[in-house]
Amino acid sequence: MGSLDFLRGNILVLILTNVIWIFALRMILPFVPLYALALNATKPQVGLIQALRFTAMLLTFPIAGYLTDKLGRIRIIVTSGYLSSAVYLLLALAPDWRVIALGNFLGGLASFSFPALSALTADSLKPSQRGIGFAVSMAIPGILAIPSPYIGGYLVTKYGTVPAMRALYLSLMATNLVVTILRMKFLRETIDVSRESPVELTARKIPRLLLDSYKGIAETLRWMPRGLTSLTAILVLSFFSDAVTSPFWVVYATEAIGISKLQYGLITLLAGALNMLLSIPAGLIVDRVGPKRSMSAAFLLFLLPILYFPHARDFNTVLVIYLVISLANAFSVTACQTLLANLVPRELRGRVMAALGRGMIRINVLWSGGGPAVGFLLSIPLALGSLSGGYLYTLNPEAPWVLLTATLTLCLAILLFLLKEPERPEL
């Protein structure tokens, strides 16, 4: 199979299960802010809802990373899957925005599989195939989920925001249960946990576990080489500014520009299609020219369309903006993941990815942030960005995109002048 010989074992199982899960998830994500607004949330409360999820991640991710390296990847992934399904049921039944806020907080607590999923993916790929491996892992589920935002937009338009979102959350709950069962049966562990001392998850042991988990994060931060420190700064800055804007792309497009929900679904469909179709070529280019050069090109592409978005006045302009950002996302996501995996040794990968996520830098025009991209350190700027975004949008609807442009410019400068790639990638 040549360069695609990684399409077996864990990578194949993750791709196939993600095909099912992402199709259901992406019908929902573009319209979550509209669901909250329909249940009487204000603009600042929309930001608060997202901030609560990231605050919960701040509490759970250090433990998740510690347990990922102590108990193994699979046990963490399966437990999180069952708990997340219960949260989706709560969101489906939410009577008002406060329950959505509670559901988002509980969802953040239940999302402790992300460090394990990130570590398992990196463990299962050779260093020479990480660019194409990460790209294919995202592209196949993403390509098959291309119609999802349009289907979601159609359902929201036809049946109304609240009834459609309730039905979509119920379908996501069922889908997530199926995915969890399949992963439990077919995924295989990538580390030897038999040599680790047993971890007792009793009420009396939890305080000690918290202490050990946060101590492990502190040790990891002290270990970081200069290249990883520079990448961390880029991640923190970009995730903060993206959190300011991510809930309000759909709000500004539908309220200020006047695009219908169905038109917005079509825009996200086309932009998502371009992003997914370019993911595999982008992965090949990242492996050929290097992740730093690829990230630099992506950051340059981001700047103009983001700055111009508040001045867009019609469907075609918004579509072009989303297409250019999706093109840049195809490179930034794969390049950053590859660079992070190359910098971090296997034995520390769970804890580092608990702190930094998988390193998937992207501008979330298609859905709100989160997922494996998020780590412990990133949950803080994400929560702060989400909280401030609603107030900033209320004061001046154009201001979030000006802030995002300025922050990405600073990230590009750090990338070009301070970040050095490792001479020999970690296995």
pLDDT (tens digit per residue) in 134-149: 778 877 888 888 889 8
Alpha carbon distance 379, 345 (integer Å): 23
pLDDT at 217: 63
**8 A C-beta contact, residue 401 and residue 310:** yes
pTM of model > 0.95: no
pLDDT at 114: 77
> Which of 40, 23, 24, 21 is CA-nearest to residue 162?
40
Write down the pLDDT at residue 112. Answer: 78
Closest by CA to 313, choosing from 403, 377, 252, 404, is 252
How far does Cα 207 stand from its chain's mean position?
Answer: 29
The amino acid that residue 118 corresponds to is S
Task: Tell me 421's DSSP state.
Answer: -
Q: Domains (ranges, CATH) in the chain?
A: 2-188+204-417 (1.20.1250.20)
- Return d(Cα 300, Cα 152) in angstroms, integer: 31
Residue 243 burial (C-beta neighbours within 10 Å; 0-12, 13-18, 19+): buried
Per-residue b/e over 279-302, b at no fewer than 16 CB within 10 Å?
bbebbbbbbeebbbbbbbebbebb
Low-confidence ranges of the chain (pLDDT < 50): 1-2, 369-372
pLDDT digits (tens, 9 = 90+) for 323-343: 999 999 999 988 988 888 788
The pLDDT assigned to 72 comes to 80
Nearest to 247 by CA among 88, 32, 410: 32
222/229 Cα distance (integer angstroms): 10
Query: CA-CA distance, 382 to 296, in Å (whole number)?
Result: 22
Provide the 8-state DSSP code for 247: G
CA–CA gap between residue 362 and residue 369 (Å, rounded) = 9
| Crossing angle of the two packed helices 349-356 and 376-395, in degrees rounded to 10 | 10
CA-to-CA separations, 279 to 24, 26, 68, 135, 313, in angstroms, rounded: 20, 17, 28, 5, 29
